[in-house]
Amino acid sequence: MPNLIASRKQIAVRIVYVGPGVGGKTTNLRHVAAQFPEYRMAELATEGERTLGGDFLPVALGAEPIDGWTLKVSLSSVPGQIQYAESRASVLKAADVVVFVADSDPLRMDANRYALDDVARLLEGQGRDPAETRVVFQYNKRDLAGAVPVAELDAGLNPAGAPAVSAVAIDGIGVFETLHEALGLAMEEARRYLAEALPPRAATV
Ligand SMILES: Nc1nc2c(ncn2[C@@H]2O[C@H](COP(=O)(O)OP(=O)(O)OP(=O)(O)O)[C@@H](O)[C@H]2O)c(=O)[nH]1
Ligand SMILES: [Mg+2]
């Protein structure tokens, strides 16, 4: 759930990138970080290019204030490799918005499915309803020859029709479109939370 920093009138919201190993989560965050040299991205415990601990990028994107509260956003990613479920669970716990980075490689369809089921399992384990969780899909690696058609990815991974963006994260394509969708959901979540957490009069100050 969002975090209120009353002294600064800030509401902090977390966007967490999830998805199968080598799907492109770190690539997305690196691309965002490159546009914001004032923020430092932490890549925790890596082994080669594989993320073991998660990535963390705190940014304040200067979104329109909501009832006088400024939105502060942090982006993070979980390690995609199957064995790091505990690390995934702890990062996911704080997620207000989830970005699922799917790999369009036909050989990674089982990995996509596993990662999606894993997210649902972890959220349920935390007493959250996956169907109520705000999610954006990114269909990454659209440059691959033989990329799975978008309609097939939609049908297989996103039957509920959540926002979905095609991307070639390695070239920065679709990275900011995805973030834009996620920020829209983050704003919705911040509004919902403020309406619930603050007395009605304070919320409209
Ligand atoms: N062809 C292609 N390769 C990509 C694209 N995006 C990322 N990659 C490559 O895929 C590999 C894995 O990308 P990462 O961003 O490290 O993947 P990750 O999801 O963070 O993986 P884990 O940390 O293991 O969970 C890297 O070699 C990237 O350069 C893309 O759009 N197209
Ligand atoms: Mg990574």
DSSP 98-124: EEEEEE--GGGHHHHHHHHHHHHHHHH
Q: Which pair of structure tokens corresponds to residue 82? A: 């199957």
pLDDT in the model for residue 50: 64
Q: Which domain holds residue 113?
A: 3-203
pLDDT averaged over every residue in the chain: 88
* Strand 42-47 with 10-18, pairing: unpaired
pLDDT mean over 5-9: 86
What is the CB < 6 Å shell around ligand 1? 19, 21-27, 49-51, 79-81, 140-141, 143-144, 168-170
Ligand nearest to the CA of 140: 1
pLDDT mean over 70-83: 84
Three-state DSSP at 15 gives strand
% of the chain beyond a pLDDT of 90: 58
Q: Does 194 have pLDDT greater than 80?
A: yes
pLDDT in the model for residue 197: 83
For residue 93, the one-letter residue type is K
d(CA 87, CA 16): 13
d(CA 87, CA 160): 27
d(CA 123, CA 85): 12
Lowest mean pLDDT segment, chosen from 69-83, 143-157, 191-205: 191-205
CATH number at residue 92: 3.40.50.300
Q: Structurally, how many domains does the chain consist of?
A: 1
Which DSSP category does 198 fall into? S
Ligand nearest to the CA of 28: 1
Report whether 186 contacts 71 (CB < 8 A).
yes
pLDDT in the model for residue 56: 80
Q: Does 203 have pLDDT greater than 60?
A: no
- DSSP run (H or E) holding 136: strand 134-140
Per-residue pLDDT of 42-68, as tens digits, reads 777 667 666 666 678 777 665 667 788
Count of CB atoms situated within 10 Å of the CB of 138: 30
